[in-house]
Amino acid sequence: MIGLGGLFVSCSDDIDLLVPHATNITFAELEIPTRFSHIIPDGGFTASGIKFNTVKSGSQLAGGFCYSNRSNRSFVWNNDEVSMDSIRYSVWSTRPNTTGTYLVCHVNNDDAFFTLDTPKKIDYILVSNTTWAYLAMAYGDTYGTEEKPVANPNVPSKPMGVWHSYVDGGVTKFAKGDYFTVTAVGYLGSTKTGSVNFDLACMSGHNAENPAWSYFVTDWMKMDLNALGTVDKVVFYLDSSDKDENGRMRTPAWFCLDGFQFAD
């Protein structure tokens, strides 16, 4: 059994808790000069023959990828840029992140993609939630969830508080049947090769094959991409059960990835 956000699911071939393997591409070559920081390069970036798309708006990531070494487990007190950067560009993990540099992805239309110099088959990647997405799903906020003071996850003693996600329109604390799913779509040239789904959050009743599963991903997990076959491009999308009256997803459209492993 593995613990996920205080809940437990059985280990399986589909959900495996992992630390980067020695043969993984872990993006250590992408240097970040200071601790607890991130870099949003202009025009994207390349690592180990993988080109990641980056769309920038001012100093923020509007879509695609950046890289980070942040590891924050605390709510923020203010809706200012510095405060929000500490949770939107941070991986949520049950212990301080030990993978060094990793990637943060903001899904916006079709902007979240990478391309390969040489077409290859990808065995798996490691994925996890951002701190922002985790807090929004696990706690909700005063707009969409009953106001009940709770301890800050990183400061369990005090103060108790009613915390904000600072998502426009608010979010709802996840309950039975809720989900947050990342989808990877593969391409070879202009031909779609397949797609793979992975639940970054899965509340009881969502997974038809495993209806008792109830978890948030709170560490690096393996997302198997073998079903995509040989690809030269992969595009990511996100979907959540928490939507507003217009069908707009309210869960922050961000996730983290690391540990690329190509098939032999």
Query: Tens place of pLDDT for every residue, the chain, 264 residues?
Result: 233 333 333 333 345 555 677 788 889 899 999 989 999 999 999 999 999 999 999 999 999 999 999 999 888 888 999 999 999 999 998 776 666 899 999 999 999 999 999 999 999 999 999 999 999 999 888 766 766 778 887 777 767 777 788 988 889 999 999 999 999 999 999 999 999 999 999 999 998 888 999 999 999 999 999 999 999 999 999 999 999 999 999 999 999 999 899 997
pLDDT in the model for residue 19: 62
Per-residue pLDDT at 7: 37
CB 184 within 8 A of CB 236: yes
Task: Show Cβ contacts of residue 239 under 8 Å, excluding neighbours closer than 6 positions.
Answer: 179, 180, 181, 183, 249
- Contacts with 73 (C-beta within 8 Å, 6 or more apart), sequence order: 92, 93, 131, 153, 154
Indicate the burial class of 68 (C-beta count within 10 angstroms; 0-12, 13-18, 19 or more). Answer: buried
Question: CA dist 227 to 23, 146, 192, 212, Å?
Answer: 20, 41, 12, 25
Distance CA 104, CA 61 (A): 9
pLDDT, position 141: 83
